[in-house]
Structure 1
C-alpha cells in the first residue's frame, strides 16, 4: 500500500505541485505552465508532496518560518522517505538522528536559558523602575535647585539695592562732611581775623 493511506493514485492535486527555493510547496496552476520543469515526477514523490502540501495547508503553516507543527510534518515525511529507501535507510536514519539530537540539545539549552531570560526580564523591569525613580528624583532636585537659584537671585538683587543705597548714603555723608568742614574752616578763619583785629586795637 502506498503511504499515506488516503493519498491514492486517483488524486490529481499532486500533479500541480512545485517546491520553491524557500522550501514552500505551492500549486502551480495554469499561470505557471511553461515556467516550471514539467518532467513527470515519480509516483512516490508526487504522493509525498501532495500529503506534505495538504498537511501544511491544513495546519496553516505553509510559510517557511520556524514552527513546531511545520517541523513535525516534515519530520514525518522524512521518516517515510527513509523507510522507503531501503539501501540508504541506515545512513539517512543516522543523519536524521544527528539532527534530532542537535534539536534536542538546542531545546534543552533554551529550557536552561529560560530562567536566565526571566531574570533578565525581571532585572530589566527593575532597572526601568529605578531609572524612572532616578528621573523623578532628578526632576525634583532640579526643581529645588531652580527654586534655590530664584531665591538667591532675589537675595542678590536685594543686596545690590542695599549696596546702592549705602553708596548713595556714603556719598551724601561725604558731601555733608565736606560742607561742614568748609563751614568750620570759614568760621575758623573768621575768628582768626577777629583776633588779629582785636590785637591791632
Structure 2
C-alpha cells in the first residue's frame, strides 16, 4: 500500500485555514488557474511518507509506533508562515508552516524517530528531509511563486494541540477530480491524550 504517518488538524482548524485560503484560491481559479488547491479534508502534516508499505511492515510499524506515541505528550502547534518547494522561483508546492520553532524542532525529532521505526519494520521510506508544513496547492510544472508566498505568509494561526499521529493509506486517483482518496488505517494516541 501507499501510505503516510501524519498529523491531521481538527475540523475547526481546517475550517479556519479554509476561510483564510478561500479568497486567495478563488482569485487564482477565476484569473489564472495556476494551482491545484488541496481539498480542506485532505490537509495534514506528513511526518513520514511510505510509498510501499506491506501489511506485515504496517503491523510492525504500528506496534513500534504505539510504544513511541505512548511516550510523547500532546504538542501545541500553530499554523504560521508560508513557503514553496523546492523554492519560490521554481515552485511546485505552496505550503503553510507549522510552528513555533521549538514545536517545529520537536516535530523534526518525531519524524526522524518514526522514519527509523518504519525502516526497522521493513517499510520503504520515501520523500525529502522533513519540514513541518501543510501543503495547500500544487502545480504540474515549476512556477514563480514569490507573490503567493508573501500572500500566504500573512496567515495568523490557528492553534491546536496534536494528540495523535495517524497512519493514512493513499489511493491514487480515487478521490474527487482524480485526486488521491485518503483512508485512516490506524490512530496512535499520544501519552496523556486519552483514548483515540
**What's the TM-score once normalised by structure 1's chain length?**
0.20
Larger CA Rg, structure 1 vs 2: 1
Higher relative contact order (CA 8 A, sep 6+): 2
Higher normalized strand content (fraction of residues): 2
**What's the TM-score once normalised by structure 2's chain length?**
0.20
